[in-house]
Amino acid sequence: MKALMCHAFGPISDLRLEQAPDPLPGPGQVVVRVRACSLNFPDALIVQGRYQVKPALPFSPGAEFAGVVESLGEGVRHVRVGDAVVAFAGHGGLAERCVLDAARLLPLPAGMDFAQGAAFVLTYGTALHALRRIAELREGQTLLVLGAAGGVGLAAVEVGKALGARVIAAASSASRLELAARHGADAGIDYATQDLRQRVLELSEGRGADVVLDPVGGPYAEKALRATAWRGSYLVVGFAAGEIPRMPLNLVLLQERRLLGVYWGEALQREPVAHLRDMEQLVAWFSEGRLRPPITERVGLDAALDALQRMAARGVMGKVVVELGA
């Protein structure tokens, strides 16, 4: 089979598109014929060895994908050959076939094509887990989303709206803010040219944001914490800007703010039932038209390396989906 392979942790440019052996399912596993795999920022971190999870070498990146079950290992009962599925595998999706534990599959929801299915579980799952379970975002509250035109960012904009919040999008250009507005953001702040804290205060009658979701970190993090309301929550989701910020804790004390960590991939292992409930909610919102996976680019496997490099260099918006044909 054709696969984009990582043979050693290092620069993304070292990935190679090559022929790899077809995988076989072990007990409890399935082989999925991958039809679409979306890119997520952690895919770029994993191949560089800069992520908390390091797969055994060699491997294909590609954490989430959709496809068709091709073969079953011993003891697999809840899926059948020919089923259309979505999968969060952590890696392995940028290949024509992927072997993974059957427990990591869900049926492809009704009304969703393979590309949408591939761009659903990770970003929307993270957004709902962060906003509802961790921050307990409530109707009428103000939510500030950083990196609001990115994968997690746009999902947080839509999930925030579905939970009844007023959503302020923050991103680095007018076109990014337009995309966030098309996905429901009520207001936008260009943090490349505007003072983030000042603008949040102006947009919230001086109160600040009740909840801040930050997948970016870097230079915006402290400004965003300073823009968080009295007893508001600041969600640490990721560090796409590269630098892991250090925060003065007096900013937490003086406004009784809550600094909250989010680690969706670990939470779904520890709390699988809660994860399934989140998925049911997300699929219901999708079928009501309230969630629209923001696919901005569709490329073939031969262009996946280039797209991954652009993603790591702040050069994509929304979700890039790699389509692998029938």
User: 125: which residues sit within 8 A by CB, 6+ positions away?
Assistant: 88, 264, 268, 275, 278, 279, 282
Query: Which of the residues 36 through 75 are near ligand NAP (CB under 6 A)?
Result: 40-42
**CA-to-CA distance for 157 and 145, rounded, in angstroms?**
7
Q: CB of residue 171 vs ligand NAP: minimum separation in angstroms?
A: 3
Q: What is the largest CA-CA distance in the chain?
A: 60
Q: Are 106 and 122 in contact (CB under 8 A)?
A: no
Does 215 bind ligand NAP (CB under 6 A)? Our answer is yes
In the complex with ligand NAP, the residue whose CB is nearer, 109 or 151, is 151
Establish if 200 lies at the interface with ligand NAP (CB under 6 A): no
Give the C-alpha separation, 188 to 166, whole Å.
11
Q: Which of residues 252-291 bind ligand NAP (CB under 6 A)?
A: 262-265
Interaction mask 154-193, ligand NAP, x per CB under 6 A: -----------------xx---x-----------------
State yes or no: residue 314 binds ligand NAP (CB under 6 A): yes
Smallest separation (angstroms) from ligand NAP to the CB of 211: 15
Q: Is 240 in the site for ligand NAP (CB under 6 A)?
A: yes
Quote the least distance from Cβ 58 to ligand NAP, whole Å: 22
Tell whether residue 4 is a contact of ligand NAP (CB under 6 A).
Answer: no
Interface with ligand NAP (CB under 6 A), residue from 238, 283, 293, 308 = 238
Residues near ligand NAP, by CB under 6 A? 40-42, 122, 126, 147, 149-153, 171-172, 176, 215-216, 218, 237-242, 262-265, 311, 314
